[in-house]
């Protein structure tokens, strides 16, 4: 094991090994901003606040039946930020369709296991779709990481939108 490698914990290995094509083990978040974010500023904030966590600059290295976290010598933030224009009117339905497509697609296991999709011109501002593999951290830890990216405004409030709920019917077996 090189000095730049760290063995994955048993829990992290479990999340990694549970992944299948039908069930990507990733945590996704959609962040909607009232104003557009200039891409250079987004990259600067990610570099200063997100990449200070070493795990986001590491990839998985497999040796035998073990997995290790290894610093990615070719790490480039531009490989992890994707600028996307929504089709059609670029409204909520198009964003939901994009999120559905993205969450059903796995991440490249040869690179650090995260991506951010930047959607400009969404609802008068912009949106970020953040995808992070579950083996990097649990959901609560990742929420904290995402919150570290934001600055509280003068009226720092969050609007929580309820998702539509489909009623399930019981059917005889």
Q: How far apart are the first and last CA of the chain?
A: 53
Q: What is the pLDDT of residue 144?
A: 78
> pLDDT for 76-116, tens place per residue?
999 999 999 998 878 999 999 999 999 999 899 999 999 99
**Closest among 37, 27, 115, 123 to 79, alpha carbons compared:** 115
Catalytic residues: 134
CATH label, 5-147, candidates 3.30.559.10, 3.40.50.300, 1.10.10.10, 3.40.190.10: 3.30.559.10
> pLDDT for 11-53, tens place per residue?
999 999 998 888 889 899 999 999 999 999 999 999 998 899 9
Whole-prediction pTM value? 0.81
C-alpha 129: how far from chain center: 7
């Amino acid at each position: 094991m090189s000095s730049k490698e760290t063995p994955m914990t048993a829990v992290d290995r479990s999340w990694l090994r549970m992944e299948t094509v039908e069930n990507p083990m990733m945590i996704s978040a959609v962040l909607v901003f009232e104003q557009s974010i200039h891409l250079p500023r987004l990259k600067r904030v990610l570099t200063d606040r997100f990449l200070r966590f070493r795990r986001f600059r590491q990839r998985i290295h497999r040796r035998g039946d073990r997995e290790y976290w290894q610093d990615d010598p070719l790490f480039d933030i531009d490989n992890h930020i994707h600028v996307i224009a929504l089709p059609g009117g670029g409204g909520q339905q198009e964003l939901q369709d994009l999120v559905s497509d993205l969450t059903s697609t796995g991440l490249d296991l040869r690179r650090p296991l995260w991506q951010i999709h930047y959607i400009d011109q969404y609802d008068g501002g912009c949106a970020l779709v953040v995808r992070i593999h579950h083996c990097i951290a649990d959901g609560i830890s990742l929420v904290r990481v995402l919150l570290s990216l934001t600055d509280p405004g003068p009226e720092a409030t969050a609007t929580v939108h309820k998702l539509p709920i489909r009623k399930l019917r019981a059917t005889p077996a």
